[in-house]
Amino acid sequence: MRFLACSRFWPGKGPVLNGVRAGIGPGGRVESIEPCSGGLPGLLIPSFVDAHVHFSWKALELGSLDCSGVRCADAMLDAASRAPVPEDGLIRGFGFDESSWDDPALPTLERMDEVLGGRPAIFTRVCGHVALVDSALLALIPEGTPGVDRETGRLTEEASLGFNRMFPVPGAHLVRSMERLQEHAFSLGVTGIGSMEHLREARLIEEWAPRLRTALGVFSGDAEELERRGPGKKVRWIKAFADGTFGSWNAAVDGNYLDGSSCAPMADEGRLSELFAAASRCRVGLCVHAIGARALRAVADASRRAPSVRVRLEHAEEFMPAVDAGWHGNRHSFCMQPNFVRRWQMPGGMYESRLPHSRVRELNPFREVLSRGLRLGFGSDGMPFGPLKGLAGATDHPNPAQRLTVEQALRAYTLDAAGVCGFEDLAAPVAPGRPADLCLLSADPFSGAPWEEIGVKAVFLDGETVFGDPGILEEE
């Protein structure tokens, strides 16, 4: 048996305990929780689960051009012009967010061609729903491909999200990148993920067999093939889109945007019924990206006609106008992103450029979801990856009525994130018999330590140290 003594311990529910010695058995499960004096400084908690990432996409970003810090279009293009050309000759830039630029104007196709000099390149917005390509890459995309604007070089929705289907990355390279990302995930305190993937990447992840606990959603464009081949061991959902994003002005919100435009849900009643039927035949759940209230209500209506299918709602940023759409705690769960609050809902953020202030205030209503008895799990959507980078968005929400307590916020990123991913053994508080998936934080948020000053000191997966000092566990 091995032991870990810590000065502060939060089991996932209830008060923080002082001085605890956790015993971990050879099977990787907690065998005992006993009081002790002293122990390692910091706070021991259940490890984090990031319930919504795109793991293969984030892995590709590790070796690609990071555009998250650029401040204008020319800076992004200049960085791309100086970047080394990868083996496949395709320059990939990830993470730009023009809403944070000094000048939010996107580069024209002519400007991209001028700076890049004929090297094929793609720049994917942080949300993934919009991308920019130059003429060299446009020439490689088949004519008639949906979502391709050949006048501007802009890819939207299906073309942007499906880019890796048109230009697949070699499997060996992708696995190496995912191995690196797995180690990074451990360093962030994450031992479980819910990842949305194309079927090719989902099968590749299954063959690779990551140490991370992994639940997969497969995009609805692959639903027919998924039905033919079967879901396998890790696929839990078909992933569908009911609308777009605020960043691309096509979230199906109530009323109009500030510029007078509006957007209907992307999936009509017939398409949603098809998706529910496909999920039922595959014996998996349906995971639906639905940001605006119109999209949320459309999903709720379709769900009433398919009561046997469990539904996971992704993002639900404009939940308040759809709060009475008919949600049920036994069939509907919600995966929301506190980092969106930090990034876009604070004064001067992107939301204010899209909607009136009164409507911005009501977005991302975490407390309202909980008050309705619905399961709320947090995920990052990789914007950015890492729970500690987003939790302040839950506890310091600009609308005091929607703020969560430290316990509620942590629970949404640990036990309840595990629950919405189907990791039911991790959805219970830490106690004898539970897998020893634990995270030691450097400071205690329950005692007022600011999130930005808290780091991860050690992480344990099935009782094994996957990050931190390998000798931190006491042998006895």
- Which alpha helices (DSSP H) does 168-315 contain, by range? 171-187, 199-208, 223-229, 269-282, 293-304
Q: Average pLDDT in the 428-453 region?
A: 97
Tell me the pLDDT band of 161, cut-offs 50, 70 and 90: confident
254 — pLDDT class (breaks 50, 70, 90): very high
* Sheet of 130-133, strand order: 65-66, 91-96, 121-125, 130-133, 154-156, 148-149
Question: Domain-by-domain residue ranges, the chain?
Answer: 2-47+434-475, 65-166, 171-426
Q: State yes or no: pLDDT of 123 exceeds 90.
A: yes
Q: How confident is the model at residue 451 (pLDDT cuts 50, 70, 90)?
A: very high
pLDDT value of residue 458: 98
pLDDT score for 273: 95
Provide the pLDDT for residue 394.
98
Q: How confident is the model at residue 40, as a pLDDT?
A: 92
pLDDT for 158: 84
Structural domain 2-47+434-475, CATH architecture: Roll (2.30)
pLDDT of residue 361: 96
Kindly tell me if the per-residue pLDDT of 157 is higher than 90. Answer: no
Whole-angstrom distance, CA of residue 56 vs CA of residue 177: 8
The pair of structure tokens assigned to 413 is: 């990123």
Q: What one-character DSSP code corresponds to residue 188?
A: T
List, for residues 231-249, the tens digit of each pLDDT value. Answer: 989 999 999 999 999 998 9
Edge-to-edge strand order for the sheet containing 311-315? 48-53, 190-197, 213-219, 235-241, 285-290, 311-315, 332-336, 375-378
Contact 101, 70 (CB under 8 A): yes
Contacts of 140 by beta carbon, 8 Å cutoff, 6+ apart: 120, 167
* Mean pLDDT on 448-455: 96
pLDDT at residue number 169: 87
Find the mean pLDDT for residues 123-132: 92
pLDDT over 70 percentage in the chain:
100
pLDDT at position 228: 93
Give the type of residue at 245. T
* pLDDT digits 0-9 by tens, 65-92: 999 999 999 999 999 999 888 877 899 9
Token representation of residue 112: 């991209």
What's the confidence (pLDDT) of residue 87?
77
pLDDT at 164 over 90: no
* Residue ranges of E strands in 272-361: 285-290, 311-315, 332-336
Q: What is the mean pLDDT of residues 312-317?
A: 98
381-429 pLDDT tens trace: 999 999 999 999 999 999 999 999 999 999 999 999 999 999 999 999 9
What are the C-alpha distances in Å from 181 to residues 55, 56, 85, 210? 8, 9, 22, 11
Query: Distances from the Cα of 32 to the Cαs of 22, 300, 337, 370, in angstroms?
Result: 6, 44, 34, 31
pLDDT tens digits for 2-16? 999 999 999 999 999
Give the dihedral sign, CA 347/348/349/352: positive
Query: Which fold does the domain 65-166 belong to in CATH?
Result: Diaminopimelate Epimerase; Chain A, domain 1 (3.10.310)
CA distance 338 to 180: 25
Angle between helix 171-187 and 199-208 (nearest 10): 70
**Tens digit of pLDDT for each residue in 26-51?**
999 999 999 998 889 999 999 999 99
Structure confidence at residue 145 as a pLDDT band (50, 70, 90): very high
- CA 197/CA 72 separation, integer angstroms: 30
pLDDT (mean) for 469-473: 91
pLDDT tens, 411-423? 999 999 999 999 9
Beta strands in 362-443 (DSSP E): 375-378, 438-441
At residue 417, the pLDDT reads 98
By three-state DSSP, how is residue 11 classified?
A: coil
| Residues 142, 150 contacting (CB under 8 angstroms) | no
Report the pLDDT averaged over residues 438-452.
97
Q: How far is CA 200 from CA 223, 226, 412, in A?
A: 12, 10, 30
Model confidence at 476: pLDDT above 80: no
Cβ(392)–Cβ(352) below 8 Å: no
**Res. 329: pLDDT tops 80:** yes
Check: CB of residue 24 under 8 Å from CB of residue 6. Answer: no
For residue 198, which phi and psi values (nearest 5 degrees)? -70, 160
Tens digit of pLDDT for each residue in 169-216?
889 999 999 999 999 999 999 999 999 999 999 999 999 999 999 999
Residues 335 and 352: their CA atoms lie apart, in Å, by 23
Q: Name the pairing type of β-strands 474-475 and 154-156.
A: unpaired
Average pLDDT rounded to a whole number, residues 436-443: 98
Angle at 102 between CA 97 and CA 108, to 5 degrees: 65
Please state the CATH superfamily assignment of the domain spanning residues 171-426 in this structure.
Metal-dependent hydrolases (3.20.20.140)
